Amino acid sequence: MKLSWGPSAESGRLEPRRVAITGLGVVSCVGLGKDAFWKGILGPGAPEGIRRVENFDPLVWFTPKEARRADRFTHFGLAASQMALDDAGGLEAIACDPDKSGVILGTGVGGLETLEQQLNNLRDGGPRRVSPFLVPMMMANRAAATVSMTFGWKGPCESVVTACAAANQSIGYAARLVASGRCEVMITGGTEAPLTKIGLAAFTNMTALSTSGFSRPFDIERDGFVIAEGAGVLLIEDLERARARGAKIYGEILGSASTADAYHITAPSPGGSGAATCMELALEDAGLNPDQIAHVNAHGTSTPLNDLAEAEAIEKVFGSTGPPVTSIKGVTGHSTGAAGGVEAVSVALSIENRLIPPTVGLINQDPEIRINIVKDEPMPWEPGPVISNSFGFGGHNSCIVIAPVES
């Protein structure tokens, strides 16, 4: 991972630290925690309809008063962050300096549920019925702030709000803070809870959602994404300190990149040009050539335009006989601002379990899509560097490179 770009990057003056993934946390429609999540994304079968997180009790992570004063996206964000912290050994084992520990969590819409509820209160009862907690509950930075206050971490605490690219961009930014030495430990990823009446109506009326209720990434019959909620979080830290404390290491973040299509508010640039450039820059940041990538974790939302554009971008960068490609959204649906975090967890588990999940829902591959997609069954593999893609409304592109740790 580079710390500078252009001529100064070749001077050798800056030596980045290596960035290890040592904790995983996930809240998803297939279950809470990495074990239930991993079992769920391996299939079989494509579920139908909106992907809600069932049987989630915020009181496991919040007091009753705290839970009432936090939006559902914050509930998810703290739960996944606590899971990641616990998976990494807990605060005592990590023994981090609070001033060098931080939180970067992305979201697309923040506290939409709270906003909807309080608008109803305003309509039904007037201004005095609006909660004084409206702003701190709905603000997009609330999840990150809650995590930092819960853990007592006083380093950078920020939120990235770039639609469906938010979690991936958060991870890339957080990794660069560790690589630079500014932070020792970071919690990073994304959280989202968009399944409200107004959220569902808005996505439906913009014709983004599947009318069939099925997510079919790269399939000839794909007809839109299936919206989901949830959170995916990584705990990352300086590799040397992780090794020194005997931490379990899932992999390391080698590079990241972010670009903009500068084309259209919802549609991707023709031929996936912005996505291709983003992948190429992420590879450059990681110091890798395209033939060194062993797997592509695709954004793969099941929308006609985006799947085709991404496939064209992947083919441009890697060729039609390139590395195996998968999208887990056939199972998880699309959790928008949380998707990149959920998928980063899946990449780490793919490396650990030496299996690539299948693209559930893909039955008849679109003949215009000529990339090497994993379907039907999980694929055993020899883990190597993985590029994970997230592309968002507004033309935001984000790619991260995750790899097994080598000496």
- Residues labelled catalytic: 164, 299, 334
Check: CB of residue 299 under 8 Å from CB of residue 164.
yes
Q: Tokens 């957080």 appear where?
A: 174
- Half-sphere exposure at residue 159, Cβ-oriented, CA atoms within 13 angstroms: 25
Residue in 107, 101, 245 with CA at minimum distance from that of residue 186 = 101
Residue 160's beta-bridge partner residues?
106
- Measured between alpha carbons, how far is residue 16 from residues 158, 238, 400 in Å? 22, 10, 16
DSSP assignment of 306-361, as one string?
HHHHHHHHHHHHH-TT-S-EE-THHHH-B-GGGHHHHHHHHHHHHHHHTEEPP-TT
Phi and psi at residue 349, in whole multiples of 5°?
A: -70, -30
Distances (CA, A) of 24 to 71, 118, 284: 22, 34, 26
- For residues 174 and 244, what is the distance between their CA atoms, to the nearest angstrom? 21
Question: Quick check: 269 and 395 in contact, CB under 8 A?
Answer: yes
CA distance to 128, 165, 300, 327, 396, per residue, from 267 (Å) = 41, 14, 14, 19, 11
The total number of residues written for the chain in this structure: 407
Cα distances (Å, whole numbers) of residue 355 to 32, 41, 331, 351: 20, 11, 16, 7
Beta bridge pairs of residue 325: 296, 373
Token pair 């993934």 is at which residue? Answer: 21
User: For 39-62, b where at least 16 C-beta lie within 10 A, e where not — what string?
Assistant: ebbbbeebbeebbebeebebeebb
